[in-house]
Amino acid sequence: MLKLLNEAYRIEHLRGGHPPKLSVLDRLVIMLSYYRDYRTMENIAFEYGVAKSTVCECVKWVENILIKSGEFSLPKKRELVRDTEIEVMLVDATECEIERPKKIAEILLRKKEKAHDKGSDSGRRKGFKDTQRLVFARERS
CB of 12 closer than 8 Å to CB of 68:
no
Query: Domain map of the chain by residue range?
Result: 2-74
* Strand, coil or helix: 59: helix
pTM of the model as a whole: 0.52
DSSP state of 140: H
Highest mean pLDDT among 60-64, 94-98, 137-141: 60-64
Distance CA 52, CA 57 (A): 9
Q: In the prediction, which pLDDT does 109 show?
A: 66
Instruction: Give the residue, 47 or 16, on which the prediction is more confident.
Output: 47
